[in-house]
Amino acid sequence: MTLFRWRSGQSPRHAEYSWLFLPCSPAARESPDVRSTRCDPAYCGVWEQQREEDRTGQRLDIKVPPKCTSADFLKNSYWSNRGKLDVSQERFISYPGASPESDTSLLLGWAGWNHRDQADALVGLLRSRVETGGWEKEDARFVPLLAGLCEVIPWVHQWHGGHDEEWDGNPAEEFQATLDNGRVERGLSESDLTNWRPKKKTRGRKKSA
């Protein structure tokens, strides 16, 4: 999938559109407290049941997860895009920290991509940063990309789990193999990815005159 670059200093109007994109990794957009809740097996089980209901058409007794509030998101713009049901309304997906060394401007993808295409963009970034980006395999910048792939892969299995003529293969199996290999090569477990949190930005204290 084709990504494009966001150069925030290029135009004064760019700041008006920065609220239109959200990070690919859920931990980079959700507050630590709500992220801990969503990593809980009980919460994850709700979505597993939903996927099972979608697959089989059999009605299940699924508990309704709690609705979101603005405190559940790291930025008000994230809350504005997702709302109380955490439904995607943003225009773009951002990939913070995933740019090559030669150009560190923010990479963006189209939020209208289906789950297969979202996974394809992440897999493309993972491969290119190893093959041509000069990143070492143990580079910490791979972790949020793998975390983003870990989040989207269950939906790829659900909606693209069979042979895809356009893809000429099974995209879910291919992406799952990339995720598994990416974790093994870096000594990461699935819980390492779901529990990953971005480092808090610290502001340096001004030196006294």
What is the model's pLDDT at position 156? Answer: 95
Q: Is residue 202 part of a domain?
A: no
Q: With 50 as the cut, is the pLDDT of residue 83 above it?
A: yes
Domain span at residue 127 reads: 4-194
What is the model's pLDDT at position 202? Answer: 59
Q: With 50 as the cut, is the pLDDT of residue 55 above it?
A: yes
Give the range among 53-67, 151-165, 190-204 with minimum mean pLDDT: 190-204
What is the model's pLDDT at position 37? Answer: 72
Question: For residue 107, what is the enclosing H or E element?
Answer: strand 106-110
Q: Is residue 140 part of a domain?
A: yes
Q: With 60 as the cut, is the pLDDT of residue 208 above it?
A: no
What is the model's pLDDT at position 18? Answer: 59
Q: Is residue 155 part of a domain?
A: yes
Q: Is residue 199 part of a domain?
A: no
DSSP state of 207: P
Q: Is residue 204 part of a domain?
A: no
Mean pLDDT over residues 181-191, rounded?
A: 94
Using CA atoms of 185, 26, 100, 120 in order, give the dihedral in degrees to the nearest 10.
70
Beta-ladder partners of 93: 22, 109
Mean pLDDT over residues 103-107, rounded?
A: 87
Q: With 70 as the cut, is the pLDDT of residue 12 above it?
A: no
Q: With 60 as the cut, is the pLDDT of residue 10 above it?
A: no
Q: Is residue 32 part of a domain?
A: yes
Q: Is residue 30 part of a domain?
A: yes
Mean pLDDT over residues 54-59, rounded?
A: 86
Report whether 129 contacts 121 (CB < 8 A): no
Question: What are the residue ranges of helices labelled H in 58-136?
Answer: 76-82, 115-131
pLDDT-based confidence at residue 9 (cuts at 50, 70, 90): low
What is the model's pLDDT at position 48? Answer: 82
What is the model's pLDDT at position 29? Answer: 92
The total number of structural domains in the chain stands at: 1
What is the model's pLDDT at position 8? Answer: 57
Question: For residue 5, what is the enclosing H or E element?
Answer: strand 4-6
Q: Is residue 206 part of a domain?
A: no
What is the model's pLDDT at position 11? Answer: 45
Q: With 90 as the cut, is the pLDDT of residue 45 above it?
A: no
Q: How far apart are CA 46 and CA 49, in angstroms?
A: 5
pLDDT digit string, tens, across residues 109-145: 999 999 999 999 999 999 999 898 889 989 999 999 9
